[in-house]
Chain A
Amino acid sequence: MNITKKRLLIYLGLSFGMAWLIFLIFIFTGHTWTGSSPEMLSLVSLGMLTPAIAHVITRKITNEGFRLTGENSMMLGIDLKGRKWVFFLLAVILPIVYATLGDAVIWLMCPEAFGEAEVSSFVVIIYPLLAIVQGVVLSFAALGEELGWRGYMMPKLIELMGMPKAIIVGGIIWGLWHAPLTCVGHDFGMDYPGFPYVGIILMCIMCTALGTVLTYVTIKTNSIWPAAFMHAVNNSMPSVLLLFMKQNVEIPLWILALSYIPLIILAILCFRMMIKGKSITKENTH
């Protein structure tokens, strides 16, 4: 078996094994995503650190070393030269843009889900900035995932099957990794037709789209930090329209699915730029 494939399988085995163990303990102790305390949900969210742990263990087992920067490294360096700082800036701003546009789609399709904001206009104005600060300062969980997925899995997949296939396969793997939690209501709840399979498929689509953007910023900066910040801001629910959303309103799953359109458009743009960039590099090499 190809050595890269072997390394990738070890990583995936460890990453899925450790995370699913945590998720399954959570499920078999009778918890669901919608019915558990915020403290228990935070504890399960620490499963996000398992890809990083799997990355470190795999490197130890396979003797790949622990280089922080450069070729075949853990991509932990930060280089802001050559306009790379732009990608760091985009990484924290873009989640606000696509999340707000996504919620605008929900507002268009399901206006009854929105009403008056229960907070002052000051909070509405500073909310996106707050999401960025909270996301960046407390980005350790997202860093845990990115260190594994973008820092180890994606370079190996790209080496094995090339960029386009790697993006899709990587997204599906990432989506399936979330499957146990999707089965107990993470992201989409438990009350929708085709539960939980439709939810898992949607999660794979969302992960493929988000993964494309995250891979793009990782490749452009040769660092996983912008991806970690982007993932963290994405998870801190940066859309200001959420402040206008009514509590306990059931939004149909197909409308939730449509809210991913802005993210998917962004992902297609990033994908095109990655393919274009790669072909230019190839031409220059020839």
Chain B
Amino acid sequence: MGGLMYKDFVAIKGKRICIILLSVIALLCIMRVIFPGSMAEGMDFVLKDDAGTEINGLDIMFVTAYYSIVLTMVCFIDIWCARLSEADASSARIRNYVSSLPVSANSYVASKYVFITIATYVLISLLSITGIVLAAFTEPGRGLDLIRMCEVLMLPVTSLLILVASVELPLYILLGREKGNLTKVAIALLLVFVLIGFMLFADISWLSEKTEFLVRFINWYMKYQTEITLASYLSTVVDLFIFYLSYRITVFFKARQEA
């Protein structure tokens, strides 16, 4: 299985991605240490919003860069799920070679799932380390609040990544890149149609009392804020179970495909 995972690492151009990603993160952290938030006043980088609140421009600049990295990394998982199966299907030589290896459908599927798990773990760890370094040199205020929010969101983001992989991996492994993509779009469209159908035909009178509904929702959220935040952390456990279930289902169908 180690060999299969190494093949996947090469297929996604892992070495190049690692070097670029680490260089960008290292550069961002070094720049942050050289230009901490406390320098903003001296550099005339303090802005004022409409309400007259002071905003540290330097901090906001680094936070924007951090959020861009977070978004890029989230996209990576989605792209890699597709790339993993594309590499196997793109060339007849690789396809024949993989099918001749003494590995079962179980090992083949497991290698993809383990690879995505490791990739998610590494990406989340890198994001956390970057967040810690940036936060330490950010002045209290809006910039720091944004980084703290990102730290709080780290576990729900992990959940989301696991959930995305649980849906995409079976599609790509069993159907291949093209059909997998088509099915993914079809599922997305189906969801949109269901939503439109609901808006057209269901009883949505509660939406006309939108303000009241929103106020009630916000009040409910404020009352149980801690509980909701903590429960969202636990979604990781549910998502891991779904991930395992997705793996078992993929193994079942892959074995049938090979037979």
Question: Which chain A residues have a beta carbon within 8 Å of chain B's beta carbons?
Answer: 39-40, 42-43, 45-46, 49, 68-69, 119-120, 122-123, 126, 129-130, 133-134, 137-138, 140
Contact = CB atoms under 8 A, between A and B. Distances in A.
A42 B134 CA distance: 11
A133 B234 contact: yes
B109 to A, nearest CB: 16
Given A42-B135, A46-B132, A138-B124, A133 B233 contact: yes
A279 to B, nearest CB: 34
Contacts of A137: 121, 124, 154-155, 158, 236
Interface string B215-235: 000000000001100110110
A119 to B, nearest CB: 6
A119 B133 contact: no
B19 to A, nearest CB: 16
B218 to A, nearest CB: 19
B125, B133, B227: which has the most chain A beta carbons within 10 Å?
B125
A126, A134, A138: which has the most chain B beta carbons within 10 Å?
A138
B154, B227, B230: which has the most chain A beta carbons within 10 Å?
B230
A86 to B, nearest CB: 18
B129 interface: yes
A143 to B, nearest CB: 8
Contacts of A120: 226-227
Nearest to B236: A133
B166 interface: no
B226 A134 contact: no
A68 B227 contact: no
A40 B136 contact: yes
A237 B145 CA distance: 24
Contacts of B129: 46, 49, 140
Interface of B: 2, 121, 124-125, 128-129, 132-133, 135-136, 138, 144, 154-155, 158, 226-227, 230-231, 233-234, 236-237
A151 B45 CA distance: 47
A69 B135 CA distance: 36
Nearest to A133: B236
Contacts of A69: 2
Contacts of B158: 137
B73 to A, nearest CB: 14
A42 B136 contact: yes
Main secondary structure, interface of B, reads helix
A39 B233 contact: no
A176 to B, nearest CB: 25
B234 A126 contact: yes
Contact of A119 (B226, B233, B237): B226
A126 B237 CA distance: 12
Nearest to A119: B226
Nearest to A41: B136
A140 B154 CA distance: 13
29 contacts: A39-B136, A39-B138, A39-B144, A42-B132, A42-B136, A43-B136, A46-B133, A68-B2, A119-B226, A120-B227, A122-B227, A123-B226, A123-B227, A126-B230, A126-B231, A129-B234, A129-B237, A130-B234, A133-B233, A133-B237, A134-B155, A137-B124, A137-B154, A137-B155, A138-B124, A138-B128, A138-B155, A140-B121, A140-B129
Nearest to B151: A42
A273 to B, nearest CB: 30
A114 to B, nearest CB: 20
A40 B133 CA distance: 9
Given A68-B2, A123-B226, A133-B237, A39 B135 contact: yes
B116 to A, nearest CB: 15
A119 B229 CA distance: 13
A46 B136 CA distance: 11
B155 A133 contact: yes
Contacts of A134: 155, 233
A138 B157 CA distance: 12
B146 to A, nearest CB: 13
Contacts of B231: 126
Contacts of A133: 155, 233-234, 236-237
Contacts of B133: 43, 46
A122 B225 CA distance: 12
A130 B158 CA distance: 14
Contacts of A119: 226
Contacts of A49: 129
B132, B154, B231: which has the most chain A beta carbons within 10 Å?
B132
Given A123-B230, A138-B125, 10 more contacts: A42-B132, A42-B135, A43-B133, A46-B132, A120-B226, A120-B227, A133-B155, A133-B237, A138-B154, A140-B125
